[in-house]
Amino acid sequence: DAGVIQSPRHEVTEMGQEVTLRCKPISGHDYLFWYRQTMMRGLELLIYFNNNVPIDDSGMPEDRFSAKMPNASFSTLKIQPSEPRDSAVYFCASTRGSGMNTEAFFGQGTRLTVV
C-alpha cells in the first residue's frame, strides 16, 4: 500500500478563496483523522470519521471549515473563505479499528499558505 496520500502537497491561495484539501486513507482502514499543525498551537485534532461518518468534530475551529468523507477511500477538508490565520500544515491519518487502538498512519501533509 502507498500509505495515506494527501493532495496537494503545497497550496498557496489568496484570502477569501475556497481551499479543498484531499486525503486517500489506507485501504481497509475505517478511521480517518484530520489534524492541523502550527508553531503556536502544535498538532490539533480537527475531526475524525468512522466508516465515513463524522464522530467528533469538536476541534473544527469555525464554520468556515467543513469535512466530508463520501466513501471509504476519499475525504476532503474544505475552508471557505480562507484567511491568513488558516496557514498551517494539514495532516490526514487513518487507522483500522480493531477494538484496541492500533497505530495511526499519517500522510505527508498539505502545507497551506493563505496570503
75, 109, 112, 114: which one binds another protein (CB under 8 A): 109
45 part of the interface to another protein, by CB under 8 A: yes
State the Cα–Cα distance between residues 47 and 58, nearest whole angstrom.
Answer: 7
65 part of the interface to another protein, by CB under 8 A: no
Closest separation in Å from C-beta 109 to another protein: 6
Nearest residue (CB) to another protein, 3 versus 84: 3
107 part of the interface to another protein, by CB under 8 A: yes
Alpha helices in 41-81 (DSSP H): none
Please name which of 86, 90, 69 lies closest in space to residue 7, comparing C-alpha atoms: 90
30-to-23, 81, 115 alpha-carbon distances in Å: 13, 30, 35
The dihedral sign for the CA sequence 94, 70, 65, 63: negative
40, 42, 63, 71: which one binds another protein (CB under 8 A): 42
Q: Which residues bind another protein (CB under 8 A)?
A: 4, 31, 33, 35, 42-45, 48, 50, 56, 89, 91, 93, 95, 97, 99-101, 103-109, 111
